[in-house]
Structures are given as C-alpha cells and as structure tokens.
C-alpha cells in the first residue's frame, strides 16, 4: 500500500495543457506548461507543482499556489508588519520565483537554489517574470543553501524561508539541529523563520516543532487545505489558483510573531514525546511517513 501511494502522481498534464519545455538534471525532471483555458503557466518538478503564474498582465505579480495571499504565507506577511520593512530576506528554494512578489522597496531578497536549471527557467521571461519584475530587489545564489548561508557571515535576515520540502525526496540536511544553528546565526533580532512543510508523503510539522523547542523558539503552524466553516457561511470560495499548504513559523519571542499569536488559524505544532531531534548524525524519514490516502 505504501509503495502504491508513493508512486501516485497528483500533478499530471491536463487536457488542453501545452508542454512548453522539459528538462532533466541530476536533481530531477522539470516541465513548463501552459494552460490557455485557465490563463496560467506552471512548473512541475516530477509530480510536484513548483510554481504558477497568471498570464494576464494585471495579475502577473500575484503570488499563486502555496504562496497565495489568502494562504498561510500571505497571512504571515500581513500579521507581522516588520517583515515588510527594509532589510534582508533569505529564501531557500526558488521555484519560479513566486515569493519575489512579496518583496517591498528597501528589501533585498536572496534566493538560494541548488539547481542551475531552475534559475534558468525562473529567469526566462517567456515563461515566468517574478524575478524580472522584482529587479534589483532579488538575486539568486546557486549552490547548497546550507553551505551558502554558512558563508554569508555578515548577513542578518529579518526573514528566512525554507521552501525545499514539497518534493518526493527532501534535503534532510536542511532539517537538522545543526542547520537550525546556521539559520539562527543569520537571523536578525526579531527575525522570523518560516518552513513550508507541505508534503504528500511526510508529516514534517512535528520535526520542525521539535527543532524549535530544542532551540528555545516559539513556533506556530497553519494547515490550510480547505475553507473554514466561517468562510463557507460567508459564501467564500476556494480560489482555483491557490494550492493548499502547511507552514510552520518560528521566532525568538511571541512578540516577534505579531498578530499570528492571536489568530485562530495558527496553533502550536503538535510534537509527540517520541519525536526525535534530527541531527546530522540521525534522522528518521520512516517515522514521519504518512501512508494515509488523501
């Protein structure tokens, strides 16, 4: 049963969708597609959606899918005002560059991406323009993110986004206590670390919550996969360009998390007493394997 679930393919080419480019590297296979009916282009990595952009000029700067303004990341940016102030932001994982839509004047966003093919796709404005529209506010550093962050001794980020865990194979070395030491060493006073832990196969929120507790941090989680009862009573609908997502954010104090601490959508991640602290010497993917059928 587990093997069959792991082989399931939730992101497949839809009727009427046109494949614009394919690429294969050491890190996997990529597919850029156009859905004319929906008016969007998308990037898939294997069976995982890695970004989408609207074709209409008036909407091309809107963050879609996991980063939708009505989702957890948008909630975080609205609830913590200092994240929109001038300063530096680090984002591990580039995708199509969607997070660049959140950059504000006076900020410098640095995207850490291990695969040069992803950078080439994100910079190709025949397909995606988030990085082009961001201009000098955004830059990309190619290489292993943990090593690259370790080398930036003078950087102090007001926000560190870890967005490298949605695919079938995850970089475990970015989820260890030693990795947390790197993030904290680069985190500015009152800074926030945000983990995108959506994954079809693995339950990662508890692992991240354990890392937060081990480092004396306050952590909050939002799982946004369906409309709330209140939203339904108000007649709201789920946007068709939004993807359900799960995020865990953490900071050194509750005050650093702003209005998230009083939001009913956010709660402390559940960490079972048996959840181990992952380290460079120990991690256990089988312990977080989710074999439920979705």
For position 226, what pLDDT does the model report? 87
Give the C-alpha separation, 108 to 122, whole Å.
18
At 15, is the pLDDT very low, low, confident or very high (cuts 50, 70, 90)?
Answer: low
Does residue 171 belong to any structural domain of this protein? yes
Does residue 242 belong to any structural domain of this protein? yes
User: Domain residues for 227?
Assistant: 59-288
Give yes or no for residue 288 having a pLDDT over 70.
yes
Count: domains in the chain: 1
Does residue 40 belong to any structural domain of this protein? no
For position 7, what pLDDT does the model report? 31
For position 229, what pLDDT does the model report? 74
Mean local confidence (pLDDT), 90-101: 98
Mean local confidence (pLDDT), 141-156: 95
Give the C-alpha separation, 207 to 196, whole Å.
12
Taking CA 152 as the corner, what is the angle to CA 150 and CA 154, rounded to the nearest 5 degrees? 125
Average of per-residue pLDDT values in the chain:
91
Please classify residue 278 by burial: count the beta carbons closer than 10 Å to its beta carbon, then call 0-12 exposed, 13-18 middle and 19+ buried: buried
Does residue 17 belong to any structural domain of this protein? no
Give the predicted TM-score (pTM) of the model: 0.91
Does residue 241 belong to any structural domain of this protein? yes
Please classify residue 64 by burial: count the beta carbons closer than 10 Å to its beta carbon, then call 0-12 exposed, 13-18 middle and 19+ buried: buried
Mean local confidence (pLDDT), 169-183: 95
For position 53, what pLDDT does the model report? 98
For position 11, what pLDDT does the model report? 47
Give the C-alpha separation, 41 to 87, whole Å.
31
For position 217, what pLDDT does the model report? 98
Residue labelled with tokens 């009427």: 16
Does residue 72 belong to any structural domain of this protein? yes
Mean local confidence (pLDDT), 171-191: 97
For position 47, what pLDDT does the model report? 81
For position 12, what pLDDT does the model report? 54
Q: What are phi and psi of 137, to 5 degrees?
A: -75, -15
Does residue 4 belong to any structural domain of this protein? no
pLDDT tens digit string along 36-86? 999 999 999 888 899 999 999 999 999 999 999 999 999 999 999 999 999
Does residue 233 belong to any structural domain of this protein? yes
At 14, is the pLDDT very low, low, confident or very high (cuts 50, 70, 90)?
Answer: low
3-class SS shares of the chain: helix, strand, coil, % to 5: 30, 30, 40
CATH number of domain containing 190: 3.40.50.150
Length of the chain: 294
pLDDT tens digit string along 235-283? 788 999 999 999 999 999 999 999 999 999 999 999 999 899 999 999 9
């Amino acid at each position: 049963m587990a093997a069959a679930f792991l082989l399931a393919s939730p992101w497949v080419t839809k009727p009427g969708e046109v494949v614009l480019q394919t690429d294969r590297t050491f890190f996997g296979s990529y597919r850029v597609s156009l859905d004319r009916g929906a008016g969007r282009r998308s990037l898939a990595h294997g069976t995982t959606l890695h970004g989408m952009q609207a074709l209409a000029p008036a909407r091309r700067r809107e963050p879609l899918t996991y980063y939708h303004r009505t989702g957890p990341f948008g909630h975080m940016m609205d609830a913590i005002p200092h994240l929109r102030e001038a300063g530096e932001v680090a984002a591990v994982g580039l995708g199509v560059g969607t997070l660049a839509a959140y950059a504000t004047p006076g900020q410098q966003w640095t995207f850490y991406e291990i695969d040069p093919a992803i950078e080439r796709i994100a910079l190709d404005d025949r397909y995606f323009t988030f990085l082009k529209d961001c201009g000098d506010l955004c830059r990309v550093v190619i290489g292993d993110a943990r090593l690259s962050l370790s080398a930036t001794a003078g950087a102090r980020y007001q926000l560190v986004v870890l967005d490298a865990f949605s695919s079938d194979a995850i970089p475990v070395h970015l989820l260890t206590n030693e990795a947390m030491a790197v993030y904290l060493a680069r985190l500015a006073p009152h800074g926030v670390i945000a983990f995108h832990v959506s994954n079809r196969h693995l339950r990662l929120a508890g692992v991240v919550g354990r890392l937060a507790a081990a480092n004396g941090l306050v952590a909050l989680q939002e799982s946004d996969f369906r409309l709330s009862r209140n939203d339904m009573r108000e007649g709201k609908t789920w946007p068709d360009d939004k993807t359900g997502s799960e995020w865990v954010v953490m900071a050194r104090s509750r005050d650093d998390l702003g209005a998230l601490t009083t939001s009913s959508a956010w709660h402390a991640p559940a960490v079972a007493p048996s959840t181990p602290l992952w380290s460079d010497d120990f991690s256990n993917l089988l312990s977080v394997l989710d074999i439920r059928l979705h």
